[in-house]
């Protein structure tokens, strides 16, 4: 199976605060939606516990990039981190039916690793805020 459909991460883009796309993406962590588990067992009705889905959450998203100090979008991350501003994040998967995942969050961590003999890398952690809109996937 060598279809581009199976390699949706290959040309994935990430737009932060409706700005230009984040450049030089090396890796994107798991987009993980979670929920609490609420036990709803009525003890006289069954030998098994019953459950329902509780509050939902999205875990922090970690993005790895090659760092380029001349890149305006990468530099914008510093002011976003300093302000704590909650901004829209749009991840667009590049496959035959381009799909997007959108959420609102803030820059929680920004780490730059400047090795002496290799390309500089950065790790950006975005904490979903879930205050403006629920995370949404659109195919």
Query: Residue 56: beta bridge partners?
Result: 35
Q: Residue 124: its pLDDT value, please?
A: 96
Q: In the chain, what percentage of residues exceed pLDDT 90? A: 48
Tokens of 8: 């949706």
Q: Residue 120: its pLDDT value, please?
A: 92
| Fold observed for domain 4-31+51-138 | Factor Xa Inhibitor (4.10.410)
Query: Taking the model in full, what pTM does it have?
Result: 0.82
Angle at 57 between CA 84 and CA 78, to 5 degrees: 20
**99-113 and 13-16: which strand pairing?**
unpaired
- Residue bearing the bigger pLDDT, 41 or 2: 41
Q: Residue 96: its pLDDT value, please?
A: 57
Residue 43 CA to residue 125 CA, distance in Å, equals 43
Domain spans of the chain?
Answer: 4-31+51-138
Residue 45 CA to residue 81 CA, distance in Å, equals 52
pLDDT digits (tens, 9 = 90+) for 67-120: 988 888 888 999 999 999 999 999 988 765 668 889 999 999 999 998 888 899
């Amino acid at each position: 199976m060598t279809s581009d459909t199976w390699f949706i991460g290959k040309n994935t883009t990430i737009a932060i605060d409706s700005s230009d796309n984040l450049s030089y993406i090396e890796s994107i962590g798991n987009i993980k939606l979670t929920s609490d588990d609420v036990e709803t067992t009525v003890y006289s009705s069954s030998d098994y516990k019953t459950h329902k889905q509780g509050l939902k959450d999205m875990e922090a998203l970690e993005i790895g990039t090659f760092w380029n100090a001349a890149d305006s979008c990468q530099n914008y991350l510093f002011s976003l981190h300093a302000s704590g501003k909650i901004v829209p994040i749009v991840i667009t998967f590049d496959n035959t039916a381009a799909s997007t995942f959108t959420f609102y969050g803030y820059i929680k961590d920004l780490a730059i690793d400047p090795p002496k003999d290799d390309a500089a890398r950065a790790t950006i952690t975005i904490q979903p805020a879930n205050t403006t809109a629920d995370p949404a996937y659109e195919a």
